[in-house]
Amino acid sequence: MESFDEPNGQAPATRRAMEEAGLRLNAVWMRYFSFTGEAGEYEIDAYLNGSLELPAHERDLISHAVNELIKELPPRRMAPYSGKPPETHQEQNSSSENPS
Amino acid sequence: MLGIGPCLSAWAEQRPILIQDITRETRWPEWTARITGLPLRSVLSAPLTTEGRRIGAIKVYSSAPNAFDDHSVFLIERLATPAAVMLGNARDREATERMSSQLVEALSNRDLISRAQGVLMERMKLTARETLTVMLSASKGGDKPLHEIAREIVNGMTNQ
């Protein structure tokens, strides 16, 4: 019933995404936990480092937690064009659909 | 930030640093170059350490050369110990508060998602796991956080 097969290197790719975005394990686990994830932080660590297999369902919850946290990171600074005033932070905020 | 100087050395080497006279100090040339012109001749710096954790360093300056001696080092170390304990405690308390507010938020989102699962199980005759798959694809497709999807499902139910 549980699908444990992990053909495409989901764990190492997830770990790379975390590292590149500078996400901490605790933050990822907390988000995953809020998604009703059942594995503990220690198990997530083991999964990311290739020493524990998790069912596809839990793996996808971890991936989704990582992806949500990446989307919440502040946008990268953009280069300005000639003759235009630099875009202010205000404008960047109003263009996103953040409800806060 | 220079990244070098007596305070950072005190912190890194975990020992007090005493500079009798800036004008004759050769250990931190870049730092002494920067502070030339300031009314500053002697420096005493001690590490703030508690339970093996390096919190930072405390420093005292004087505009007179040779203002500090071995007794000053003794005094600053007497002060540094309780100061480090207090700072360490304040830091722990802050970390705990931050941690528990994150946990409260995670728990309330987890609860929200469980309630949305209940709604979908009833409405679509799905298993708990299948409802999460449905919500995950809605979150991915609509570029909305999972707990927002769950909130919409729960609110949609209560509004009807």
User: Cβ contact (<8 Å) for A35 and B113?
Assistant: yes
Phi, psi of A46 (to 5 degrees): -65, -40
Q: Look at residue A40 and tell me if it is in a domain.
A: yes
Q: How distant is the Cα of B45 from the closest Cα of chain A, in angstroms?
A: 34
As beta bridge partners, residue B43 has: B19, B61
Q: Look at residue A83 and tell me if it is in a domain.
A: no
Closest residue by Cα to residue B113 from B152, B63, B72: B152
Chain B stretch 116-155, residues whose beta carbon is closer than 8 A to a beta carbon of chain A: 117, 129, 132-133, 136, 139-140, 143, 145-147
pTM above threshold 0.95? no
Q: How distant is the Cα of A62 from the closest Cα of chain B, in angstroms?
A: 11
Q: What is the DSSP string of A1-38?
A: ------TT-HHHHHHHHHHHHT--HHHHHHHHHHTT--
Burial of B118 (0-12, 13-18, 19+ CB in 10 A): middle
Q: Look at residue A85 and tell me if it is in a domain.
A: no
User: Cβ contact (<8 Å) for A36 and B106?
Assistant: no
pLDDT tens over chain A, length 100 residues: 455 565 569 999 999 999 999 999 999 999 999 999 999 999 999 999 999 999 999 999 999 999 999 999 988 888 888 886 655 544 444 444 444 3
Least confident of A9-13, B29-33, B69-73: B29-33
- A36 contact B CB<8A: yes
Q: How distant is the Cα of B127 from the closest Cα of chain A, in angstroms?
A: 13
Number of structural domains chain A divides into? 1
Q: What pLDDT is stored for residue A6 in this prediction? A: 57
As a whole number of Å, the end-to-end CA separation of chain B is 59
Q: Look at residue A25 and tell me if it is in a domain.
A: yes
Q: 3-state DSSP call for residue B45? A: strand
- B5-29 pLDDT, tens per residue? 888 888 888 888 899 998 888 888 8
Q: Look at residue A97 and tell me if it is in a domain.
A: no
Q: Look at residue A13 and tell me if it is in a domain.
A: yes
Distance CA(B116)–CA(A54), nearest Å, equals 24
Q: Look at residue A56 and tell me if it is in a domain.
A: yes
At B54, list the tokens: 């390096």
Burial of B121 (0-12, 13-18, 19+ CB in 10 A): middle
**Domain housing A35:** 7-72
Closest residue by Cα to residue B9 from B50, B56, B53, B63: B56
Q: 3-state DSSP call for residue B19? A: strand
Tell me the CA distances in angstroms from B63 to B24, B33, B38, B54, B79, one per residue in order. Answer: 14, 16, 9, 28, 21
Q: Look at residue A59 and tell me if it is in a domain.
A: yes
Give the DSSP letter of residue B29: H
Average pLDDT on B105-123 reads 95
